[in-house]
Amino acid sequence: MTFPSAFPGFASADLAFLTGLAAHNDRDWFTAHRAAYDDGLKPALAALIAETSTTCAALDLPLSGDPKRSVFRIHRDTRFSKDKRPYKTHVSATLTRDGRKMSPGMIYIHIEPEGGSRPGFDPDSIDPLDPSTHPSEAAGSDDGPFGKGPFVACGFYLDERPQIDAVRRLIVDQPARWAAVEAALSTAGLALDPGDPVKRMPKGFEHQAGTALEPVLKRTRWLVSRPLTGAEIASPALPATLAAFAASVRPLLDFGWSALDRIDPTPSVR
């Protein structure tokens, strides 16, 4: 695969491949049309990762990715799923603080045709490395734009209790700083996605029940997202669009990273 020297935008043929894959999600169709994936989508996504990383660096944002290793596989994990469709009908990647795919505090980039390309979702079909395939992100859910078209998300998608509790502790210890994060997001026209909060106050935080912090402490992730238009994903300016979005989320990223650095000062794969 040869990477373009600059991100060219996702061509209509790239997106047509994903639409076709949604309608013909089988190995024979994928094999017959694989050249469109290998020669179009993959190089464009690699170029997007490289150029967005460079643009983030110019904005002093510590977010980067590797054109090969930061990409999620298009093959679905069907081992424990009743849904045996072999392929996802989107492509996706992350940029993180240390450049590793699943390090906490990320930009998650999700590319599919505007309006979505997936015909349905089986909640048993989960790829643990792809947030968009988790049950709460099912097509038709009100929990964010997942499965409804291209989008970008930024923040913390955590699945380890020590990390989740580290963020919670910093919120309790520095409520004014957390309030400033929420205010900054609001000023940017952003709000935390609904997420998948726990029903009971988490252990160790029971004393915050009934306080203004209760809703945010019940969270297990802290993310903001916004849909991307068809014009945006087709534009060579998409890297600048993604970096500008991440810059607007910087207060949340800095807050989360400082919380996690309390338990591990060295960024690493989570």
DSSP SS3 for 233 = helix
DSSP code for 39: I
In this prediction, residues 202-228 reach a mean pLDDT of: 96
Rounded CA separation 255/175 (Å): 11
Torsions phi, psi for 225 (to 5 deg): -150, 165
Residue with the larger pLDDT of the pair 230 and 136: 230
Q: How is residue 37 annotated by DSSP?
A: I
Q: Which residue has the tokens 């520095």?
A: 174
Banded model confidence at residue 264, pLDDT cuts 50, 70, 90: confident
Sign of the C-alpha dihedral computed for residues 130, 217, 190 and 62 taken in this order? negative
21 φ, ψ to 5°? -65, -35
Query: How far apart, in whole angstroms, are the C-alpha atoms of residue 23 and residue 19?
Result: 7
pLDDT-wise least confident of 44-48, 145-149, 214-218: 145-149
Which of 173-176's residues contact partners 24+ apart within 8 Å by CB, and which partners? 175/213
Question: Is residue 204 within 8 Å of 198, Cβ to Cβ?
Answer: no
Return d(Cα 54, Cα 64) in angstroms, integer. 8
* Spatial CB neighbours of 251, under 8 Å, sequence gap ≥ 6: 180, 181, 184, 185
CA distance 197 to 257: 20
Instruction: Locate 130 and state its tokens.
Output: 């792809």
Measured in degrees and rounded to the nearest 5, phi and psi for residue 93 equal -160, 165
pLDDT of 14 strictly over 70: yes
Please report which residue ranges of 59-143 form alpha helices under DSSP H. none
**Distant-in-sequence, close-in-space partners of 147: CB < 8 Å, separation ≥ 6:** 116, 118, 121, 132, 137, 138, 139, 140, 141
How far is residue 155's CA from residue 253's CA, in Å, rounded to a whole number? 6
Q: Is the pLDDT of residue 146 over 70?
A: no
Indicate the pLDDT class of residue 228, thresholds 50, 70 and 90: very high
Q: Could you give the angle at the alpha carbon of 190 between the alpha carbons of 121 and 56, nearest 5°?
A: 90
Percent of the chain with pLDDT over 90: 74
Distance, CA of 222 to CA of 76 (rounded, Å): 26
Share the mean pLDDT of the chain: 87
pLDDT tens per residue, range 178-196: 999 999 999 999 999 987 8
Cα gap 45→220, rounded to integer Å: 29
| Domain regions of the chain by residue span | 12-261
